[in-house]
Amino acid sequence: VKVVVVANPANTNAFILSVYAPSIPRENITCLTRLDHNRARGQIAKRTGAHNSDVKNVIIWGNHSSTQYPDVSHGTVKGKSIREVVKDDVWLDKGFIDTVQQRGAAILKIRGLSSALSAASSVCDHIHDWVLGTPVGEWVSMGVVSKGDYGTTAGLVFSFPVSCKAGTWTVVKGLTLDAASQQRLHATEEELLEERDLAQEVLAETK
């Protein structure tokens, strides 16, 4: 069994599943942040005039919410650093991040409906790469049960950059995070901890 939780709060719903469905291996429980990942790629492609497929190794860290951290620090466009190609750190560090974080809310406000088709397509991308693997040297974003990677709290379902092979995901190790990035990771982790604690409190009351 492989699980992709889509319903919000996706990370915390996946966390609850990881606790209350012990028969499912924790590494087989994930949540969808590929929609955010694809949106981040799309924003960079639009800004640079490239095709989405030319944009690689962006990262969505943390929660599938407005605290998520869309990170381009290790990403490329046609093999060149995104920052080198875009040449606008102010936009990358503010406007880009805000747009990706708020994209779902913006679509809901305009259409009165969520982006169901985009979410469905992203689920397909998520499963495709999980089962069939990611190209060598490339990664995608998936919400997975943390083992303490990058200083995060073990047990939380946190979005990381992962590479996949033969149905198994592995968190990409050794990526450098500057002070601003570390602060953003901390902020999204704090939200996830609050959600976890609230969920555990509610579940305890229902026993």
Which residue type, as a one-letter code, is found at position 136? Answer: V
pLDDT in tens, 150-199: 999 999 999 999 999 999 999 999 999 999 999 999 999 999 999 999 99
Tell me how crowded residue 40 is: count the other CB atoms within 10 A of its CB: 28
* DSSP annotation of 62: B
Q: Which residues pair with residue 64 across a beta bridge? A: none
Which residue type, as a one-letter code, is found at position 13? Answer: N
Percent of the chain with pLDDT over 70: 93
Catalytic residue among 37, 51, 64, 186: 64
For residues 94 and 172, give the distance between their C-alpha atoms in angstroms, rounded to a whole number.
Answer: 25
Reference 65, options 143, 127, 122, 121; nearest CA is 143
DSSP H helical ranges for 25-153: 34-48, 82-86, 89-90, 96-111, 116-132
- The helix/strand/coil state of 87 is coil
Please say if the pLDDT value at position 104 is more than 90. Answer: no
pLDDT of 117 reads: 73
Angle at 89 between CA 88 and CA 90, to 5 degrees: 90
Say whether 64 is catalytic. yes
* DSSP annotation of 173: P
